[in-house]
Amino acid sequence: MSIAIDPFDPQISKDPYPHYERLRREAPVYRSEPSGFFMVTRYDDVMRVFKQPDLFSSTAMMTIMMSGLGVGTQASGLGFQGADAARMLELFQQMPIPLGEFLKSRMLIASDPPIHGPLRSLVNRGFTPKRIAALEPRIREIARACLEPVREKGEMDLVHDFSIPLPVTVIAELLGIETERRADFKRWSDVLIQSGSGSTEGLRPETVFEAFRELDAYLRTAIERRRSEPRSDLIGTLVAAEASEAALSTTEVLMFVVLLLIAGNETTTNLIGNGMIALSRNAAQLSAVQQEPERIPALVEEILRYDAPIQILFRRATRDTELAGVRIPKDSTVLPCIGAAHRDERQFPDPDRFDIERSNTVHLGFGFGIHFCLGASLARLEARVAFEELLGAMAGFELAEPNVPYIDSFLLRGPKRLPIHFTPARNGRSHGSTERARA
Ligand code: HEM
């Protein structure tokens, strides 16, 4: 029987793994219809795509950035479609940024060599290991503040109460958003993140446009201010780099902030949610990390492999080529499917088993090669602290809705909501030992 798999079909994103399994077995490089995009599902082939940025260009990632602004492409099913997309473009043309300037702005995730390297070194200054490590105490405070109102209740919606506010607050503080504008920033982030996740259900083009326009106005003032009063926050660091050769324009700073919102928030939210789902279904693994919290970093790596927050990326073939014997014409869109590569039995024995003791942990959850996630160490830190605090606050927990509703996105994977019941830990924090061990 011939295969007919459309990665944009919402039925597939509910549980993509059996479909990925079939593709890996029968058609590891598969031209999906109606988009004509090539899905790549075996680990080695996905690696081949990541390792050849000259052949598989990241300019295709612009699709994701545009969907973050609510404008999709009919083929991808991302962002607004039809009349709504036309309305969004019309609104966009009213922006203070001329469309031409917007289109010629460099965007880290959608750039190729030789533009990518200098750009990456520039923004890297905001993500040095020292700067990230220094955030740990504050991340812990934020995690505890999220848990405080629910700690004694024994129930919470993990997504709403914990895994959404934690990364949004961390990014707001990293950027240096003033306390009095945090609520606005959260509102702009929520809207841009929702449209960036591929689902515009219930979202109006006007709402996305307003959020983007307000964020633009806020950031332009923030950038101006830092030009006269230098500061060491992330916006300040980007502005301070203005004298360098790869200096970012104001529009590029704005787009980088939008990229951080899209790339750094919902991904971390999903990592925490997917982890709690996996633990709820694997009692032995849960008890192992509860007894030995120093295994939490291994837990985080296995969540990234087992149920990757980013399932699929976009690339464009720069010339006619061939992958696993399949001809890929120039300009085709190629989808390296991280979620599928992670269940490839050629790479990970017994891949459908959630196992924090795996010896092979070389997953692609943060990508691979020149575009390897800029925020990986921040995400790992946030996730470690999140699980230390969550598991420390609970003697045990279970999902209140065993049929987890997933977000409507083929790109990102994570629960829409995750109500849980839990038994509060007797001393309120059973994992103080982790911190003592680290101190
Ligand atoms: C669990 C959380 C996260 C996951 C799973 C994740 C995943 C990824 C992946 C797969 C890529 C590669 C994209 C490509 O090759 O086209 C990437 C790139 C990127 N990520 Fe993350 N990410 C996470 C958290 C973060 C955070 C917290 C930030 C920043 C605050 C961030 C910022 C970025 C940026 C700026 C890039 C582009 C890097 C480049 O193009 O050179 N990410 N991420």
Is 4 inside a domain boundary? no
In a domain, 305, yes or no: yes
The minimum-distance atom of ligand 1 relative to the CA of 338 is: 10
Substitution site in 170, 267, 270 for ligand 1 pocket (most atoms within 8 Å of beta carbon): 267
State the Cα–Cα distance between residues 410 and 76, nearest whole angstrom: 10
Residue 300 beta carbon below 6 angstroms from any ligand 1 atom: no
Atom of ligand 1 nearest to the CA of 383: 1
Domain count across the chain = 1
3-class state of residue 336 by DSSP: strand
Length of the chain: 439
35-74 core/surface letters (b: 16 or more CB in 10 A; e: else): bebbbbbbbebbbbbbebbebbbbebbbbbbbbbbbbbbe
Residue 179 belongs to what domain range?
10-438
Q: What pLDDT was estimated at residue 157?
A: 97
CATH number at residue 384: 1.10.630.10
Q: Which atom of ligand 1 is nearest to the CA of 308?
A: 5
Amino acid making up residue 148? E
**Distance of CA 428 from the midpoint of ligand 1 (Å):** 34
Q: Whole-angstrom Cα distance, residue 67 to residue 79?
A: 5
Whether residue 5 is contained in a domain is answered as no
Question: From the CA of 261, how far away is ligand 1's center (Å)?
Answer: 10
Distance in Å, CA 26 to ligand 1 centroid: 30
For residues 48 and 321, is the Cβ–Cβ distance under 8 A? no
Pocket lining: 61 vs ligand 1, CB cutoff 6 Å: yes
Look at residue 348 and tell me if it is in a domain: yes
Give the integer Cα–Cα distance in Å for 93 and 89.
Answer: 6
Q: How far is the CA of 366 from the centre of ligand 1 (A)?
A: 6
Query: Which residue minimizes the CA distance to atom 21 of ligand 1?
Result: 373
pLDDT of amino acid 62: 79
**Residue ranges in the chain modelled with pLDDT below 70:** 1, 64-85, 87-89, 91-96, 196-201, 242, 245, 427-439
Q: Which two tokens stand for residue 199?
A: 């689902």
365 falls within a domain: yes
The answer to whether residue 2 sits within a structural domain is no
Q: Under a CB-based contact definition with an 8 Å cutoff, are residues 156 and 419 in contact?
A: yes
Residue from 259, 366, 377 to probe ligand 1 pocket by mutation (most atoms less than 8 Å from CB): 366
Which pLDDT does position 436 carry in this prediction? 38
Residue-level pLDDT at 199: 61
d(CA 120, CA 110): 12
Residue 246 lies in a domain: yes
Please check whether residue 403 lies inside any domain of the structure: yes
* Residue 250, pLDDT score: 85
Give 276's DSSP letter: H
Q: How far is the CA of 310 from the centre of ligand 1 (A)?
A: 9
Q: What pLDDT, on the 0 to 100 scale, is given for residue 411? A: 84
Nearest to 258 by CA among 180, 164, 193: 193
pLDDT digits (tens, 9 = 90+) for 100-149: 777 778 889 999 999 999 999 988 988 999 999 999 999 999 999 999 99
- 32 Cβ closer than 6 Å to some ligand 1 atom: no
Per-residue confidence (pLDDT) for residue 67, from 0 to 100: 60
Distance 10 CA to ligand 1 centre (A): 24
Q: What's the pLDDT score for residue 434?
A: 44
Q: Provide the pLDDT for residue 80.
A: 62
